[in-house]
Structure 1
Amino acid sequence: MNLDAFADFCAGHGVEVVEIDLTQPLVPQGPFDVIVHKLSDVIVEAEHDSQSQQLLANFQSYVSAHPSTVILDPLPAMTQLLDRFASYRIMSKLHNSLRDWRICSPPYLEINKPTNTSSFSLLTPVCKTRVAHGSLSHEMSLIFSAGSLADIHPPCLLQSFVNHGAVLHKVFVVGDRHFYVERPSLKNFPSGPCDRKTIFFNSHQVSKPESSSDLTALDEQMPCLPPPSSEAVAALVKELRVQLGMALFGVDVIINIHTHTLTVIDINIFPGYEGVPLFFSSLLSHIEYVLDKQTSAGPQATGSPESAQTTSGPSPATTGL
């Protein structure tokens, strides 16, 4: 996000936005009413980098010592989305909780180590890295035969590919508001095993607004699929806010060309909100909402789905980023 532009926008509404320097002590930089953050990189790097471990420890120490500061989003809630094994288990339960809306997610397999190809049972799976953040998380492959499992590198996840007419719907959630935009996506492929070679692709490149690729070009004339039901998308967002305990996230959904079922294929941490014209005002509205809720109900209110958190700072109301 353009921090300077957001700071200027907030200043006009009585909210001061400051950029937090995690390499310096946080106490002198505050106090913060709200902290809006995307510490995904730091959390992932902390697995193997001592400097990132220290930055994360400093941040967590500040948060523990200042329970009245609202964090968007809570670290434990956000961390679960860094692991596709965890987030896809949440997605797999949507079929039951949202049965009335005909919402589902594709079958998938968790692959922790090189596997016996005889267990290959998903039709044309998409292989995704287990870690759901960073540039490598966008590197995926489409597998057409059991023999091609030699192309995958565990730990990873295999998700059944669903033909969806090369259209991806990206849902952007900001508190109790959500927006969705259409993006290009993978074209349809014949179902079932075949001798086609594994297709390697970068999902970020394929689904850019201006993307033009052979992988997104439909081979045949296909009637336009109906757009997602606004009521179904609203039900999906409401359920995920409860399940995730977050307010700033994205959901990738497609429409099955055969059943017209709304199909959830991924959940994203604090997405880019590209194409969302009201992002600044929506984010500020949510910040003001959680502060009002905290003032009226006390610090306990910050743990509810409605008070999903973000890095923010000082007064009048100070938001740290």
Structure 2
Amino acid sequence: MRGRRRLSPPSVSFGRTRTLGQMSSRRVGFCLSDKKRRRMNLDAFAQFCAGHGVEVLEIDLTQPLEPQGPFDIIVHKLSDVIVEAEHDSQSQQLLANFQSYVSAHPSTILLDPLPAMTQLLDRFASYQIMSKLHNSLRDWRICSPPYLEIHSASELPSVQQALITQDLSFPLICKTRVAHGSLSHEMSLIFSASGLADIHPPCVLQSFVNHGAVLHKVFVVGDKHYCVERPSLKNFPSGPCDRKTIFFNSHQVSKPESSSDLTALDEQMPYVPPPSSEAVAALVKELRAQLGMALFGVDVIIDIRTHTLTVIDINIFPGYEGVPQFFSSLLSHIQSVLDTSPGPLATGSP
């Protein structure tokens, strides 16, 4: 977030335009990291919005926020700042300044609420949400794999017994507790009790489900969602074995162009149906209600044995790669949210 330029005329900050009876265009502030800004192509989105009477500006957290406003709505992904604020005083101050601005301008809509987004940065919290899906979506045969939270190294001697109690089975996939940043993509596959020596708390152990090396990424934008197929880990024999722990980066394995020995199936796969559109819609509706969020992603797989739709991760404001309608969907959602609120500009707030 630091040292990042604010969108400025004439390239991508646009003058106000009369549209649909409004006295002026609506102003949307974006608060993103440099990486997220590039991946989203914020400049192109700003140009797209300009044609629809919506002004897009980039918020610079290192500068006073009051002169940068007012904003009808702020779209953000403050993951970097929130994670760094746990140990960095400058990030703490940036976050505090942002929260103070939002509190001082209650008519400015925040997309998405900070508490809702923050909970997904912690896999302990997000996996608790996922574990409840089985009960609320039982009719759709939707579930999540059993998992075990490991808070500290002091718990390691009792992990084997805990695995039995929590009904986990080998192989296991190990993920970091923090679900953001490059380290969050560093994972491992553990095949036996001896492999448990390779885990580094705090982390989550999750039963690995064979899914035919196919990952279905569900991208949510308000009341719309899109399902994109990606490569994923191949099948492995169930139960403990002597295989050594496999360390991998999930981001590299499941990129659209990924090609890896870990994603190449060793056997001919019988047909596994994709997730039904009705089941995915039910999942998205339930998660929107539980999370209180509009911009998120869900990673789902299909169990090759039971054909159950299995939720394995929830992501904050994902990259939306492979969603050609993303710009129009995001703008449509922003406009629908603004239509329900007069906003600071329409009410004449300073």
The TM-score with structure 1 as length reference comes to 0.88
Go from structure 1 to structure 2 and tell me whether the alpha carbon gap of 1:258 and 1:24 turns closer, same or farther (over 3 Å shift): same
Once residues 275 and 248 of structure 2 are traced to their aligned partners in structure 1, the CA distance between those partners, rounded to angstroms, is 26
SS in 2 for 1:119: coil
Shift of 1:60: 0.2
Q: Which runs of 4+ in 1 moved over 2 A?
A: 115-123, 295-305
Shift of 1:144: 0.4
Once residues 118 and 184 of structure 1 are traced to their aligned partners in structure 2, the CA distance between those partners, rounded to angstroms, is 25
Is the Cα–Cα contact under 8 Å of residues 128 and 139 in structure 1 kept in the other structure? yes
Shift of 1:224: 2.8
SS in 1 for 2:216: strand
Bigger RCO of structures 1 and 2 (CA < 8 A, at least 6 apart): 1
Is the Cα–Cα contact under 8 Å of residues 211 and 303 in structure 2 kept in the other structure? yes
5+ residue gaps, structure 1, are 306-321
Is the Cα–Cα contact under 8 Å of residues 117 and 149 in structure 1 kept in the other structure? no
Shift of 1:71: 0.5
Structure 1 partner of 2:115: 76
Is the Cα–Cα contact under 8 Å of residues 172 and 191 in structure 2 kept in the other structure? no
Q: Which of the numbers 223, 229, 232 marks the counterpart of 2:276? A: 229
Is the Cα–Cα contact under 8 Å of residues 302 and 310 in structure 2 kept in the other structure? yes
Go from structure 1 to structure 2 and tell me whether the alpha carbon gap of 1:284 and 1:116 turns closer, same or farther (over 3 Å shift): closer
Is the Cα–Cα contact under 8 Å of residues 290 and 302 in structure 1 kept in the other structure? no
Shift of 1:147: 1.2
Identity score, percent: 91
Go from structure 1 to structure 2 and tell me whether the alpha carbon gap of 1:95 and 1:119 turns closer, same or farther (over 3 Å shift): closer
Larger Rg: 1 or 2? 2
SS in 1 for 2:110: strand
The C-alpha deviation readout for 1:252-275, integer Å capped at 9, x for no partner, is 000000000000000000000000
Go from structure 1 to structure 2 and tell me whether the alpha carbon gap of 1:155 and 1:169 turns closer, same or farther (over 3 Å shift): same
Comparing 295-304 with 244-253, greater Cα deviation is found at 295-304
The C-alpha deviation readout for 1:224-249, integer Å capped at 9, x for no partner, is 31011000000000000000000000
Shift of 1:223: 2.0
Structure 1 partner of 2:72: 33
Is the Cα–Cα contact under 8 Å of residues 76 and 112 in structure 2 kept in the other structure? yes
Shift of 1:148: 1.0
Once residues 336 and 327 of structure 2 are traced to their aligned partners in structure 1, the CA distance between those partners, rounded to angstroms, is 14
Is the Cα–Cα contact under 8 Å of residues 117 and 146 in structure 1 kept in the other structure? no
The TM-score with structure 2 as length reference comes to 0.80
Paired residue total: 297
Shift of 1:180: 0.8
SS in 2 for 1:41: helix
Go from structure 1 to structure 2 and tell me whether the alpha carbon gap of 1:146 and 1:76 turns closer, same or farther (over 3 Å shift): same
Once residues 166 and 304 of structure 1 are traced to their aligned partners in structure 2, the CA distance between those partners, rounded to angstroms, is 53
Go from structure 1 to structure 2 and tell me whether the alpha carbon gap of 1:299 and 1:169 turns closer, same or farther (over 3 Å shift): farther
Once residues 297 and 13 of structure 1 are traced to their aligned partners in structure 2, the CA distance between those partners, rounded to angstroms, is 18
Is the Cα–Cα contact under 8 Å of residues 170 and 208 in structure 2 kept in the other structure? no
SS in 2 for 1:159: strand
Is the Cα–Cα contact under 8 Å of residues 214 and 301 in structure 2 kept in the other structure? yes
The C-alpha deviation readout for 1:172-205, integer Å capped at 9, x for no partner, is 0000000010000000000000100000000000
5+ residue gaps, structure 2, are 1-39, 151-164
Is the Cα–Cα contact under 8 Å of residues 119 and 125 in structure 2 kept in the other structure? yes
